[in-house]
Structure 1
């Protein structure tokens, strides 16, 4: 497990190649995404007892350890309304609509993951335009496209944006891959690029601690 201190209140936890983010500002503790199931023991040792877990979407590399975190800490789980029932285990996850070039990449990545995450009890369904009372206010932004219920999280008081898999930073800031609806994902990317923030945290790739908003705007302008 790698711990990367992004800002004084923000730590990225990289476990088995998958990423979670822990925000601890002294007033509360927020966990964004939980990585894959096999990383649950390392995640629990690092995250302590969060006040809240927010899942950006239902893919197993993001919600895979959510059930374990809830079971061991009692932390409530919040997720986009469009993904909540998949995370609860009540629906089968809809498959992405792959671009041809994405298929070999997905086959390689999926080989190291279970087909589904252990069912986790989503207590709070998120639809956007909500502000959750944790770490100074977590502003929820509906960002559909990667999955139907994908969300982003904006911590206005800390200048941090969590993009989920709508945006990636793999060599450069770019549109995320393996999307349910690429056009809607691109629209969500452009919408996120209009927000003011300093720090961007991605589902895949290193976070950008300073000057991230302009980099997202430049990248969004290149998305077709």
Structure 2
């Protein structure tokens, strides 16, 4: 299981899945401690915008705990995981200090986690641990080329994805 970051909506069921399947786990080194301790989230603030502020109030619970689990391999920017055709790891902090995106199939598909959302349109995540760094990471995503992008929250974009992202995060 490759985790884009350690927020509970992305790792909350991980321990049960690992127990049931014996899956190996991968996460950026900056977020691995949170997974292994079952919480202890860093401070996060709502992203600008009404939708983000509303969703942040509904879904962000910094004291929420989850069953901890071991990270078998920590990741860093530039790593390549030789799984199902190869995943390139790109570190994109901001939403979370250890947030990563994954490029798959010779840079054709981007697994974007929560660097942003595609709920009503392409936009910010519900919050940032560090908005300034998050904006730099979004611009980094805008400089990359990929055909499709899949978000942790919202609809995928299945064609010309990098062009569409550049319009929002040049």
Give the conservation status (yes or no) of the 8 Å contact 1:168–1:202: yes
Q: Is the 8 A contact 2:56 2:126 kept in 1?
A: no
Distance across 2 between alignment mates of 1:130 and 1:65: 25
Q: Answer yes or no: is 1:109 the counterpart of 2:59.
A: yes
Structure 2 distance, partners of 1:118, 1:90, is: 5
Aligned to 1:213: 162
Q: 1:168 is matched with which residue?
A: 117
More moved, 192-201 vs 85-94: 85-94
For residues 6 and 158 of structure 2, the distance between their equivalents in structure 1, rounded to whole angstroms, comes to 26
Task: Name the counterpart of 1:3.
Answer: none
- 2-side partners of 1:55 and 1:108: how far apart? 23
Aligned length: 168
Offset of 1:149 from its aligned partner?
0.5
The equivalent of 1:177 in structure 2 is 126
Partner of 1:46 in structure 2? Answer: none
Match for residue 93 of structure 2 among 133, 138, 144: 144
- What corresponds to 1:55 in structure 2? 3
Q: Please give the secondary structure, in 2, of the residue aligned with 1:163.
A: strand
Q: Give the TM-score, by structure 1 length.
A: 0.70
Q: 1:84 aligns with which of 16, 29, 32?
A: 32
Give matches, 1:1-224, under 5 Å. Answer: 53-89=1-37, 92-99=40-47, 102-110=52-60, 115-157=64-106, 159-221=108-170
Flag structure 2 segments of 5+ consecutive residues without an equivalent: none
Q: Deviations over 1:115-149 (max 9, x none)?
A: 12210111111111000010111100001111110
- C-alpha distance in structure 1 between counterparts of 2:155 and 2:121, whole Å: 10
Please say which of residues 144-153 and 93-102 is displaced more in the overlay: 93-102
TM-score, normalised relative to structure 2: 0.90
Q: Give the drift of 1:68.
A: 1.1
Q: CA RMSD in A?
A: 2.0
Gaps spanning 5+ residues in structure 1: where? 1-52
1:114–1:209 distance in 2 versus 1, CA, 3 Å: farther
Q: Which residue of 2 aligns with 1:24?
A: none
C-alpha contact (below 8 Å) 1:140/1:152 kept by paired residues: yes
* Higher mean C-alpha displacement, 132-141 vs 174-183: 174-183
Contact kept in structure 2, 1:60 and 1:114, CA below 8 Å:
no
